[in-house]
Amino acid sequence: MAVDNDTVRRIAFLARLKVEPEKLEDTKSEFNKILEWVEELGEVNTDNVEPLVSVNNEALSLRADEVSEGHISQEILKNAPAQEFGYFVVPKVVE
């Protein structure tokens, strides 16, 4: 599977990354190198092999329904570029 310039633009848009037009070719070939490398896996015979969901074969541990966290709004908001009245403030995002 080879990636073209349109696919690079589209993935950049979905990830909200700005890829300058002159960087497009470079990015495309980097993507393709990674894909080629991963495609080597296709050479391995995986008939009768169960899909591997996780490398650590642990059971999912469940938590009791108790309130044990919260009331740290000052810390939560510490990295916010802007805040007001305890809210995060962002540029208007109405669709």
**Interface residues with another protein (CB under 8 A)?**
10, 13-14, 16, 53-54, 58-73, 76-77, 82, 84-95
- In the bound state with another protein, the residue whose beta carbon lies nearer, of 10 and 33, is 10
Quick one: tokens of 46? 């995986």
User: From CA 5, how far away is CA 28, in angstroms rounded?
Assistant: 6
User: From CA 23, how far away is CA 30, in angstroms rounded?
Assistant: 11
Minimum Å gap between C-beta 16 and another protein is 5
- In the bound state with another protein, the residue whose beta carbon lies nearer, of 24 and 77, is 77
Minimum Å gap between C-beta 9 and another protein is 11
Neighbouring C-beta atoms of residue 28, cutoff 10 Å: 19
CA–centroid distance for 70 within its chain:
26
Minimum Å gap between C-beta 55 and another protein is 9
- In the bound state with another protein, the residue whose beta carbon lies nearer, of 30 and 80, is 80
Map residue 71 onto helix, strand or coil.
Answer: coil
